[in-house]
């Protein structure tokens, strides 16, 4: 009887310890980590493999990533060739975790540049964000059915915020006249955004940042800038801005600001959550294309020259003639004064 009693106590203790160990979730990128954080309870932990500011298209996995994946209970991936390296990482880690593709059910856009290839940037539309969070919610409940109620309550709150965000983005973009709605970025990450909110897109690089831009890409983008009288182009937080800055300089257009596509911004930035990143992008685009932003960088010299002066609008010859008349008038006054007794 004593043995049975001790075994029963040990079983109770081990169950209690097991119940307290949080379930470990790994995501590929920071925006999916934030979505998960909004849905989960304190019975879970979540961590992104690619750090904030990193480029998930060409991330090089570290040994610590393999350890994290190996210890995970659930791995959330975007798929659609976004994080191609993750399949190898998962296989090599020997993890027993459930792997869930959180873009399941999304109406996928094909790549404009590569045939039979999908555009992975589906989260860039808040309407698609709703599908992401539904998939994540279902995966969390499957992992810990006892927390279903709490997870569903979190989901409803977050879902309402995303529905409002989707409506707010649509209303904000509508402030830009349709023919001015041309968004030029470094890489082709805004097709879902453009599709949802009616903005025309043009990027130097394709849907991945792995391929180098060609001269033909620069010619194509330059043509779009000139034909559409584009006033601003946009850099991205995870991509070297050099080429876009050069294009802006050559075409005398402004840098409209920095957008977030493949990563959240850091904690101090205005794009530190999924909701904030989409809203930051929207207001940055609207302000720049409606020319509300202050003149900066390559337009600085134009700004200095634009201070009005009395001689504005005169040719060089006219200025010389004017100066000569002034000198003659001064000389006449001097001669007249000298002649006076
Ligand atoms: Zn991308």
Q: What is the pLDDT of residues 83-92, one digit of tens each?
A: 999 999 999 9
Instruction: List, for residues 248-274, the tens digit of each pLDDT value.
Output: 999 999 999 999 999 999 999 999 999
Residue 311, judged by CB atoms within 10 A of its CB (0-12, 13-18, 19+), counts as exposed
Domain segments of the chain as ranges: 2-171, 177-300, 308-341
* Backbone angles phi and psi of 27, in degrees to 5: -115, 160
CA of 187 to the centre of ligand 1 (A): 7
Q: If you average pLDDT over every residue of the chain, what do you get?
A: 86
pLDDT-above-90 percentage for the chain: 72
Top-confidence residue, 302 or 266: 266
- CATH number for the domain formed by residue range(s) 177-300: 3.40.50.1980
HSE-CB at 249 with a 13 A cutoff on CA atoms is: 9
CA of 311 to the centre of ligand 1 (A): 50
- What pLDDT score does 273 carry? 98
CA of 250 to the centre of ligand 1 (A): 25
Domains 2-171 and 177-300 share a fold: yes
CA of 79 to the centre of ligand 1 (A): 12
Instruction: List, for residues 106-165, the tens digit of each pLDDT value.
Output: 999 997 667 778 999 999 999 999 999 999 999 999 999 999 999 999 999 999 999 999
CATH superfamily of 2-171: Nitrogenase molybdenum iron protein domain (3.40.50.1980)
Give the end-to-end CA distance of the chain in Å, rounded to a whole number. Answer: 139
Instruction: List, for residues 9-53, the tens digit of each pLDDT value.
Output: 454 444 444 556 899 999 999 999 999 999 999 999 999 999 999
Integer angstrom CA distances of residue 19 from 15, 22, 315: 6, 8, 84
CA of 57 to the centre of ligand 1 (A): 6
CA of 23 to the centre of ligand 1 (A): 29
CA of 141 to the centre of ligand 1 (A): 29
Instruction: List, for residues 199-228, the tens digit of each pLDDT value.
Output: 999 998 888 888 788 899 999 999 999 999
**pLDDT level of residue 336 (50, 70, 90 thresholds):** low
CA of 238 to the centre of ligand 1 (A): 9
Top-confidence residue, 3 or 79: 79
CA of 136 to the centre of ligand 1 (A): 21
């Amino acid at each position: 009887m004593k043995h049975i009693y001790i075994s029963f106590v040990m079983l109770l203790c081990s169950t209690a310890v097991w119940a307290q160990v949080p379930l470990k979730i790994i995501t590929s990128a920071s925006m999916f980590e934030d979505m998960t954080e909004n849905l989960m309870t304190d019975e879970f932990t979540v961590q992104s493999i690619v750090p904030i500011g990193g480029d998930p298209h060409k991330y090089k996995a570290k040994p610590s990533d393999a350890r994290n994946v190996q210890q995970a209970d659930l791995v959330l991936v975007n798929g659609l060739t976004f994080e191609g390296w993750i399949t190898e990482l998962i296989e090599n880690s020997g993890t027993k975790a459930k792997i869930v593709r959180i873009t399941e059910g999304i109406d996928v856009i094909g790549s404009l540049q590569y045939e039979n290839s999908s555009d992975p940037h589906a989260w860039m539309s808040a309407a698609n964000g709703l599908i992401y969070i539904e998939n994540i919610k279902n995966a969390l409940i499957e992992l810990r059915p006892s927390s279903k109620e709490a997870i569903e309550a979190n989901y409803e709150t977050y879902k309402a915020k995303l529905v409002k965000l989707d409506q707010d983005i649509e209303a904000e973009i509508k402030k830009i006249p349709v023919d001015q709605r041309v968004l030029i970025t470094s890489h082709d990450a805004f097709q879902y955004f453009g599709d949802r909110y009616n903005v025309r897109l043009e990027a130097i690089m394709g849907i991945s940042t792995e391929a180098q831009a060609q001269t033909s890409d620069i010619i194509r983008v330059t043509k779009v800038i000139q034909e559409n009288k584009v006033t601003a182009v946009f850099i991205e937080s995870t991509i070297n801005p050099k080429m876009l800055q050069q294009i802006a300089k050559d075409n005398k257009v402004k840098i409209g600001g920095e957008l977030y596509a493949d990563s959240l911004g850091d904690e101090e930035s205005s794009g530190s959550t999924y909701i904030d990143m989409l809203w930051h992008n929207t207001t940055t685009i609207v302000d720049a294309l409606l020319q509300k932003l202050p003149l900066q960088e390559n337009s600085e010299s134009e700004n200095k020259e634009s201070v009005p002066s009395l001689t504005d609008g005169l040719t060089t010859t006219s200025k010389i003639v004017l100066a000569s008349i002034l000198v003659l008038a001064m000389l006449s006054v001097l001669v007249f004064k000298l002649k006076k007794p």
